[in-house]
Structure 1
Amino acid sequence: MKKVSFAEFGGPDVLHLIAAEEPHAGPGRIRIAVRAAGVNPVDWRIREGQFREVRPLDLPAGVGLDAAGVVDEVGEGVEGVEVGDRVFGEGVDTYAELAVLSAWARMPEGLTFEEAAGYPSVVETALRVIRESGVRPGQTLLVSGASGGVGSAVLQIARDRGITVIGVAGAANLEYLRDLGALATTYGDGWVERVRALGTVDAALDLAGSGVIRELVELTGDPRRVISIADLGAPDLGVRFSGVAGSVPDALAEAVDLIARGKLHIPVEKSYALADAAAAHVDSQAGHTRGRRVIVI
């Protein structure tokens, strides 16, 4: 089979499409014929070696966490899923023709493989950071980097829970944020004052790592009310860096419910071929994403 791999840490050019041995589903796992794989910022952060001190990685290594596809192998002890089922979920080395998943759910009706591949990690992350922020119904949550995959999920989940959201993004994405129910403003000179004009901030999320931690602390009045998933220096300012995933099966179940109720839709901004994984990483690192980027197999 073909998969994307890298033998050294570095830029997008270290990614190569190689021939590899097929993985197999061990106990409690399933294998899928991958139809699409989600592109997440954590993918290129791992590729660059940003986490090698806290999460050692044996090289060469594959890439990717999220995928959607068709079950073609079921491991020992797995119940409730059969060969031929259409599923989406999280596993390892998903930029590949075949991948093993450790958490999965049946794809909701009406969702394409490309769309489904964009949900697993971003919904888990969105649910986790909303929970960790402590924001409650009736309060206001500020989201920096609001137009990407996690931001798109946060905005919609928060709205469903009765939380007001102020989203900060590039000017081209303001209408997109408003369509998702958020109050919206841009970065640039005076952005803190523009946020204050929209309302009092009870908690804040840094989803883009764009160097705004001090301003988020200023707006909330307390570093304990700020959560970052993108700025590794956040703890130096008393802000929690959220990097440990919660229950992915629970997140997938909630995603299925939200999608079925018409409360969650994350658009696919761009799709790439498996051989173009490096280009997908270049675009992901450039930011300004509206929704998700996915690799189609």
Structure 2
Amino acid sequence: MKRISFAEFGGPDVLRLVDAEEPHAGPGQIRVAVRAAGVNPVDWRIREGQILGAHPTELPAGVGLDAAGVVDEVGEGVEGVEAGDHVFGEGSGTYAEFAVLSAWARMPEGLAFEEAAGYPSVVETALRVIREVGVRSGQTLLVSGASGGVGSAVLQIARDRGIAVIGTAGAANQDYLRGLGARATTYGEGWVERVRRLGPVDAALDLAGSGVIRELVELTGDPRKVLSIADLGAPEFGVRFSGVAGSVPEALVEAAGLISRGKLHIPVEKAYPLAEAAAAHVDSQAGHARGRRVLIV
């Protein structure tokens, strides 16, 4: 089979499309014929060797955690799914023609593979950070870097839970944020005052790692009310860095329910052929996304 692999840590240029042996489903796992794979910031952080503590990596290594595809192998002890089912979920080495998943859910009716591939890690992260930052119905959540995949999910899940959201993003994404129910403003010089004019903030999330932790603490008045998934220096300010996934199977079931009820939709900003994984990483690292990037297999 074809897969994307890297034999050394480094920039996007270390990614190669190679021939590899097909993986097989072990106990508690399934294998899918991948139709699309999600591109996440964690993918290029792993490629660069930034987070080896959380993601030990033996080289050469495959790339990718998220996929949507057709089940073609069911491991020992797995029930409720069979060959031919359309699923989306998390596993390893998903930038490939075949991948093994350790967590999955059936794709909601009418959802395309390329759309489904953009949900797993994004929705798990969104559900986790909303829970960990402790924001409740009736309160206001500030989201820095709100237009990407996680931000898009946070805004919609928060709205479904009665949480008001203020979101920051580039000028081109202001209407997009408002369409998701957020009070929107741009980042850049003067952004703190612009946020203040939109109202008081009860909690804040840093999703972009753009060096705004100090200001988020200032706006909330308490570092315990701020959480980051993107700034490894956040703990220096007393702010928690969240990088360990919670229950992915539960998150996928909740995601499927939200999608089916019309409460969650994350657009695919751009889809790339598998061979153009390096270009997808370049674009992902540049930021300014509106929704998700995926690879088509």
TM-score class, shorter: over 0.9
Structure 1 residue 35: Cα displacement: 0.1
Could you tell me whether the CA contact under 8 Å between 2:54 and 2:244 is conserved in 1?
no
**Which residue does 2:28 correspond to in 1?**
28
**Which residue does 2:2 correspond to in 1?**
2
1:201 matches 2:178: no
Pairwise CA RMSD of aligned residues?
A: 0.6
Map of 1:129-278 to 2, 5 A cutoff? 129-278=129-278
1:11 matches 2:2: no
Q: Deviations over 1:155-190 (max 9, x none)?
A: 000000000000000000000000000000001111
Map of 1:68-107 to 2, 5 A cutoff? 68-107=68-107
Could you tell me whether the CA contact under 8 Å between 2:67 and 2:90 is conserved in 1?
yes
Could you tell me whether the CA contact under 8 Å between 2:70 and 2:84 is conserved in 1?
yes
Q: Which runs of 5+ in 1 are unaligned?
A: none
Q: Which amino acid aligns with 1:120?
A: P
Q: Which runs of 5+ in 2 are unaligned?
A: none
Divergent runs of 4+, >3 A:
none
**Which residue does 2:116 correspond to in 1?**
116
Q: Deviations over 1:182-220 (max 9, x none)?
A: 000001111000001101000000000000000000000
Q: Secondary structure at the match of 2:114?
A: helix
2-structure distance, mates of 1:91, 1:60: 17
2-structure distance, mates of 1:249, 1:63: 21
Q: Secondary structure at the match of 1:38?
A: strand
Q: Deviations over 1:129-170 (max 9, x none)?
A: 000010000000000000000000000000000000000000
Provide the TM-score with structure 1 as the length reference: 0.99
Structure 1 residue 54: Cα displacement: 4.8
Q: Which amino acid aligns with 1:151?
A: G
Number of aligned positions between the proteins? 297
1-structure distance, mates of 2:228, 2:173: 21
Could you tell me whether the CA contact under 8 Å between 2:146 and 2:152 is conserved in 1?
yes
Q: Secondary structure at the match of 2:290?
A: coil
2-structure distance, mates of 1:24, 1:95: 15
Structure 1 residue 55: Cα displacement: 3.6
Structure 1 residue 52: Cα displacement: 2.0
2-structure distance, mates of 1:159, 1:272: 31
